[in-house]
Structure 1
Amino acid sequence: MRNVSLATLDSSARPVLPIATDYPPGHLLDWHEHRRAQLLYAATGTMLVETADGAWTVPGERAVLIPPRTQHRVRMLDVQTSSLYIEPAAVPWWPTRCRAVDVPPLLRELLRAAADLGRTGAEPPGTTGDGDVRAEALLALILIELERVREAPLHLPLPAAPPFAGLCRAYIATPDVAVTNAEWADAANVAERTLSRDFRAATGMSPGAWRARARLLAAIPLLQHQPVAEVSGALGYASPAAFSYAFTSAFGAPPSTLRGRASEKVRIAAAGSA
């Protein structure tokens, strides 16, 4: 089903509801929660997902597992999603906190197929048509494959309490390599040593390491449209090679991978409209 409101389907007896949605650039789904567990898959673009205690930058062909009743907001950057809304009892293994995951090719194709199920896919399963049998088998296989997905290193922990919560959220919005621990300590009205100790206790990372990771995550949507050299310069790296090394070390793939995928999608779309 495509571009259908969850509210119109949530009472369905179906344990799994597939809904694909096309979002305008920069669209913000502000703070909300779902009764069901949600698989939020980005077929294209980049999703910026945030909860009270973490942020995830999720490029195309990856997904986020969102637990039931978890407050979250999502900014969609040129995104087409394929979501599954799942009754919690159907996925007892679902994580209790948000988790970004890689989506292997088989699961990717299954999600695409699920998105094309008709509105009757939201009705209670029947026994009179091949369509019902196919839909049931398709969704059952998706759940089997979902249990096998691997976590993707796209998470940034967020402190829950001020003053660090405000500092971190402001930095995510405008990451700046020139920001120092001294500036953060002044803003928090604490000594630098206290800042480092308390920040590590809240996030598991030093302030400098946290800001470096925030900048690398900020690079992900930029790489969809800009060359590696431009992104590395904008984020304050001494050279594209230094940026590429840091990016690859953090995410397990070079930045050119994201750039290549974006370019290929554009090329295929242009060819299809010719």
Structure 2
Amino acid sequence: MKNVPLADVDHVDRAVLPIGTDYPPGHVLDWHEHRRAQFLYGATGVMVVDTAEGTWTVPPERAVLIPPATRHRVHMLGVSTRSLYIEPHAVPWWPATCTVVDVPPLLRELLLAAVELESDYSLSGREGSIAALLLYEIAERAPLPFHVGIPASADLARLCRAYLAAPDGDATNAAWAASTAMSERAFTRRFRSETGESPAAWRGRARLLAAVPLLRTASVSEVGGRIGYASPAAFTAAFTRAFGMPPSRFAAEHHRPHRRPTGVTKAPKPS
């Protein structure tokens, strides 16, 4: 299925509903939620998924597992998605929070095949086997660390979301504390209690996450400079330490040919 709103097919008696959609650059799926769990795969581009608890940056050819009934927003940056909407009873092992995972070749091909199926695909033979094998493959995926937590309190959450929108390498704990009318020590203690890490560590990770979409159109040295690193080597070392792979991995992927299905032109409204 392509360009079909989930609401039009959610009633269909299938545990797995595959839907493919192409989105224009910069498209935002505003806050919404699904009854079903969602496996959201970006065949191209970068996605940024927000929930009340955190922000997940999904690099090209990766996916994010979104729990059922989770209110979320998705910022699409040149994305062609292949989604699976899955009945919660079919995936009792689904993570309780959003999780970014890799998509190896077998899973990618299964997703591309699945979106060619009708909503009431046969449960036997090839079509039913594709749906069943998708769940086995997804269950094997290990989480990737492309996220930062968002504090529960409104003032700290606003501060963090503003930083994610415009990361500043010169920001300091003292400035952040002053903006919340707290001492630096009290602010740092409170921030750590709500996020599990220090404000400086949080900002460092947020800056590196901000680099992922930038790498689609700029070189490693350009991106490193834009987010405040003194040299490409320093940026590469920090990125690799945080995410287990160098930034050049994503810069190279921007220039790699992708299999983009044809005939998908209009994005449906969130359902």
Question: What TM-score, normalized by structure 1, do the two folds share?
Answer: 0.92
CA distance in 1, matches of 2:257, 2:209: 21
Which amino acid counterpart does residue 174 of structure 1 have in structure 2?
A
Q: Which stretches of structure 1, 4 residues or longer, exceed 4 Å deviation after superposition? A: 266-269
Q: Which amino acid aligns with 1:198?
A: R
Is this contact kept in 2: 1:54–1:157, CA < 8 A? yes
Contact 1:12 1:124 in 2 (8 A): no
Query: Structure 1, residues 195-220: CA drift from partner, whole Å, max 9, x if none?
Result: 11110000011000100100000000
Report what 2:54 is aligned to: 54
Q: Alignment RMSD, CA only?
A: 1.6
Figure out how many residues of one structure are paired with residues of the other and give that number: 261
Task: Please list every run of 5 or more consecutive structure 2 residues that lacks an aligned counterpart in the other structure.
Answer: 262-271
1:123 to 120, 124, 140: 120
Deviation, structure 1 residue 60: 1.1
Aligned to 1:151: 143
Residue 205 of structure 2 corresponds to which residue in structure 1? Answer: 213
Selected match of 1:162 from 154, 164, 173: 154
Q: Does 1:180 align with 2:172?
A: yes
Deviation at 1:162, TM superposition (A): 2.3
Deviation at 1:266, TM superposition (A): 7.3
Partner of 1:80: 80
Residues 132-171 of structure 1 deviation map (CA, whole Å, 9 limit, x = unaligned):
6211010100001111001011010000112111100000
SS in 1 for 2:24: coil
1:12 equivalenced with 2:9 (yes/no): no
What is the CA-CA distance between 1:178 and the residue it aligns to?
Answer: 1.1
> Counterpart of 1:194?
186
Residue 4 of structure 1 and its aligned partner are, at CA, apart by: 1.2
Match of 2:214 in 1: 222
* 8 Å Cα contact 2:18/2:82 also seen in 1: yes
Amino acid at match of 2:41: Y
Matched position secondary structure for 1:205: coil
1:140 and 1:266 map into 2 onto residues whose CA distance is: 25
Structure 2 distance, partners of 1:237, 1:203, is: 24
Give the secondary structure class of the aligned counterpart of 1:75: strand
Give how far 1:17 is off. 0.2
1:181, CA displacement in angstroms?
A: 0.8
Aligned pairs for 1:3-42 within 5 A = 3-42=3-42
C-alpha displacement of 1:77: 0.3
Q: Secondary structure at the match of 1:44?
A: strand
Q: Which moved more, 1:236-245 or 1:101-110?
A: 101-110
* Percent identity of equivalent pairs: 58
TM-fit CA distance, 1:124? 6.3
User: For 2:255, what is the secondary structure of its paired residue?
Assistant: helix
Which has the higher Rg, Structure 1 or Structure 2? 1
Residues 195-252 of structure 1: per-residue CA shift (max 9 Å, x gap): 1111000001100010010000000000011011110110110100000000011111
1:260 to 241, 249, 252: 252
Shift of 1:44: 0.5
Give 3-state SS (helix, strand or coil) of 2:256's partner: helix
Deviation at 1:182, TM superposition (A): 1.0
Measure the CA separation in 1 of the matches of 2:217 and 2:199.
29
Partner of 1:113: 113
Q: Is the 8 A contact 2:19 2:115 kept in 1?
A: yes
Tell me which amino acid in the other structure corresponds to 1:201. S
Higher relative contact order (Cα pairs below 8 Å, separated by 6+ residues): 2
In 2: Cα distance, 1:184 partner to 1:42 partner: 34
Between the aligned partners of 2:43 and 2:193, the Cα distance in structure 1 is: 36
Residue deviations 1:116-136 (CA, integer Å, cap 9, x gap): 22xxx312636xxxxx62110
Counterpart of 2:243 in structure 1 is: 251
Matched letter for residue 155 of structure 1 = H
Asked whether the equivalents of residues 42 and 62 of structure 1 are also in contact (C-alpha less than 8 Å), the reply is yes
- Map of 1:272 onto structure 2: none
